[in-house]
C-alpha cells in the first residue's frame, strides 16, 4: 500500500471515505476493555482473500498499525498484535495493557491495493471502548475517628451513671439494715419482755 504520484484517484478516494465497511469482511461492531487489561477482535474474511495480507489501523488509517506477513504468524507493533488463521478464514487482533487513549474507531482490513490504507481496501469498522475499571470507579472506603463532639451520650443508655459508685451504695444499704436490726432488738427488750414477765407472774 504505497502512495502513487498523481491526483486522478482523489475523487474516488474521497467517495470511498464515506463507505463504512465491506460486506466481504465481518466482525464485532464494538468491543470493550478496561484500563491495564487486554481485548481481542476477530475478523472474518472470504476465501478469495486467504493469501492476502491483513491489517489493523485506527481511523483515519493513514497507515496500518499492525499487518500480517504470513499465515499463522504473530506480528506485533508495541502493545498491538495480529495473527492470520487461514484454516478458518479469520484473523485476530489483540490490544494489551489498554489505556484510555486506545479508545476510538478502528478498521480491520485486507491489503488488495497500492493506494493508502483502506481507500480501496475491504475494511470493517470496529469501535473500541476503554473503561477505567472498578478500582477507579468505586471510591476507596474512608475511616474517620470520632471527635469529642460526636461521642455518644451515655445518659441515653441504661445502667449506672458515670457518677454512681456501686460499692459505696451497697455499704450504705448495709448500714441501714444494721440500724433497723438494732431498733427492733431494743423494742423487743422493752415491750415484749415485760409482757412476758407479767404473764408468768399471773400464772404463778
Going from the C-alpha of 172 to that of each of 3, 103, 176, 178, the distances in angstroms are 109, 81, 6, 10
User: Which option is the CATH number for 10-135: 3.30.70.20, 2.60.40.10, 3.60.110.10, 1.10.645.10?
Assistant: 2.60.40.10
DSSP assignment, residue 79?
A: T
**Whether 91 contacts 42, CB under 8 Å:** yes
pLDDT in tens, 86-107: 999 999 999 999 999 999 999 9
The whole model's pTM is what?
0.56
In sign, the C-alpha dihedral spanning 99, 104, 107, 113 is: negative
User: How many residues make up the chain in this entry?
Assistant: 204
pLDDT in tens, 1-35: 434 444 444 444 444 434 445 568 899 999 999 99
Domain boundaries, the chain: 10-135, 165-203
**Whether 119 contacts 113, CB under 8 Å:** yes
Q: Lowest-pLDDT range, 73-77, 97-101, 167-171, 182-186?
A: 167-171
DSSP string, 138-161: SPPP---PPPGGGS--GGGSSS--
pLDDT band at 133 (very low <50, low <70, confident <90, very high): confident
Quick check: 67 pLDDT over 80? Answer: yes
Q: Lowest-pLDDT range, 51-55, 73-77, 114-118?
A: 114-118
Amino acid at each position: 500500500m504505497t502512495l502513487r504520484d498523481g491526483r486522478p484517484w482523489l475523487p474516488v478516494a474521497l467517495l470511498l471515505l464515506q463507505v463504512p465497511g465491506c460486506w466481504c469482511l465481518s466482525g464485532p461492531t464494538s468491543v470493550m476493555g478496561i484500563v491495564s487489561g487486554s481485548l481481542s477482535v476477530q475478523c472474518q474474511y472470504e476465501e478469495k482473500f486467504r493469501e492476502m495480507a491483513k491489517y489493523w489501523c485506527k481511523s483515519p488509517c493513514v497507515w496500518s498499525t499492525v499487518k500480517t506477513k504470513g499465515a499463522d504468524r504473530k506480528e506485533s507493533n508495541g502493545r498491538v498484535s495480529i495473527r492470520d488463521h487461514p484454516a478458518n478464514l479469520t484473523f485476530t487482533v489483540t490490544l494489551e495493557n489498554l489505556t484510555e487513549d486506545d479508545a476510538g474507531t478502528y478498521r480491520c482490513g485486507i491489503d488488495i491495493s497500492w493506494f493508502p490504507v483502506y481507500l480501496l481496501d475491504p475494511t470493517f469498522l470496529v469501535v473500541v471502548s476503554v473503561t477505567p475499571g472498578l478500582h477507579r470507579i468505586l471510591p476507596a472506603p474512608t475511616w474517620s475517628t470520632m471527635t469529642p463532639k460526636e461521642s455518644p451520650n451515655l445518659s441515653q443508655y441504661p445502667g449506672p451513671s458515670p457518677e454512681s459508685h456501686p460499692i459505696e451504695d451497697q455499704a450504705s444499704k448495709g448500714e441501714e439494715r444494721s440500724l433497723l436490726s438494732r431498733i427492733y432488738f431494743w423494742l423487743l427488750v422493752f415491750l415484749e419482755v415485760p409482757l412476758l414477765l407479767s404473764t408468768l407472774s399471773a400464772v404463778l
